[in-house]
Amino acid sequence: MSHSAHIPSHRKPRRSASKLALRAGVAGGVLSTIAVAGAAGPASAEPVTETIEMPTLNADLVQDVSSAVAASAEATQRAALDSELQAQENAAATKAFAEAKKAKAEADRKAEAERKAKEAEEKARAEAKERANRSTERTTLSASSGSSDSGSGSSASDDGGSSSSSHATGSAASIVDFVRAQVGDAYISGGTGPSSWDCSGLVQAAYRQIGVDLPRVSQDQSTAGTQVSLDNLQPGDILYWGGAGSAYHVGVYVGGGKFVGAQNPSTGVVERSLDYDMPSGAVRVL
């Protein structure tokens, strides 16, 4: 037999990659030994009579290896995609939680502001009601004191002394007491109380606490009742400065030749003599 061993080709069952590698290594070693022996000299070489079975690297094995590599790559890619998707979901959940927390805080803030505003409104109503009750009591006591000059206090040129609401009765007295109770409060443009006012806001609030709804601005308040002469004023009459229907300022006549009004940011709500700033006209609502 020649030096080249006959290598029969037989179809064998598939073996694992580790077994194939081991057998390939053994076969390689045997072939190397044969090559060395052949190089030593043909005369002394023993004929090779053993048949060596070599692993067959056929198309099926190549396909199996390729499939395994492709499956491993696919699994690696799927794992990377799953990891990225999980990271995105975690980020979205964190953002949603932060936004929900912010929305709740804003809702709580608004609810607290509304609660405080409601409390302030209820407090202002209670104070106005209490002032009105005190005014009614004072009016009743004044009427029972036996004052007989029922018509003497209706003119701005009456006693000219004290500017008391003793000449006013009923609703007019309540209005006078209300505006006098606000003397010293601040003037703020657009203010409607309970501690800061503009001129028309004060007049509107004074009439509202006796159940009369006046327009909000001076121009409309100057035509809200019957026009009366400045020589025939009564406590509770609305004084205005400027033209009727185009007035720029209003106040309340309180008797004794005086009025109360929210004048300006420097003075706030004050009680002044008509001579301080003579009004243009007056309207009577009651």
Please name the residues in contact with 226: beta carbons below 8 A apart, sequence gap of 6 or more: 283, 284, 285
d(CA 126, CA 19): 99
The burial of 186, by beta-carbon neighbours within 10 Å (0-12 exposed, 13-18 middle, 19 or more buried), is given as middle
Confidence of residue 212 (pLDDT cuts 50, 70, 90): very high
d(CA 140, CA 136): 6
Classified as helix, coil or strand, 258 is strand
Pairing of strands 268-273, 258-264: antiparallel
What is the chain's Cα-based Rg? 54
For position 23, what pLDDT does the model report?
A: 55
Structure tokens at 161: 């002394």
Q: How far is CA 278 from CA 100, 235, 281, in A?
A: 60, 16, 9
Residue 37 CB neighbours (<10 A): 15
Look at the chain and count its residues. 286
Structure tokens at 86: 């999980």
Confidence of residue 14 (pLDDT cuts 50, 70, 90): low
User: Which candidate, 201, 193, 199, places its Cα nearest to that of 259?
Assistant: 199
pLDDT digits (tens, 9 = 90+) for 176-189: 999 999 999 999 99
Mean confidence (pLDDT) of the chain:
77
Q: Is the pLDDT of residue 163 over 50?
A: no
pLDDT digits (tens, 9 = 90+) for 89-137: 898 889 988 888 888 888 888 888 888 877 777 766 666 665 555 555 5
Pairing of strands 186-187, 196-197: parallel
Confidence of residue 262 (pLDDT cuts 50, 70, 90): very high
For position 214, what pLDDT does the model report?
A: 97
Class of domain 147-284: alpha beta
Please name the residues in contact with 159: beta carbons below 8 A apart, sequence gap of 6 or more: 152, 153, 256
For position 229, what pLDDT does the model report?
A: 96
Domain range summary for the chain, segments of one domain joined by +: 147-284
User: Which candidate, 143, 165, 130, 120, places its Cα nearest to that of 258?
Assistant: 165
Q: List alpha helices for 41-169, DSSP H.
A: 59-144
Residue 46 near residue 38, CB atoms below 8 Å: no
pLDDT digits (tens, 9 = 90+) for 42-95: 544 455 555 655 555 566 677 777 888 888 888 888 888 888 889 888 988 899
HEC readout, 16-56: CHHHHHHHHHHHHHHHHHHHHHHHHCCCCCCCCCCCCCCCC
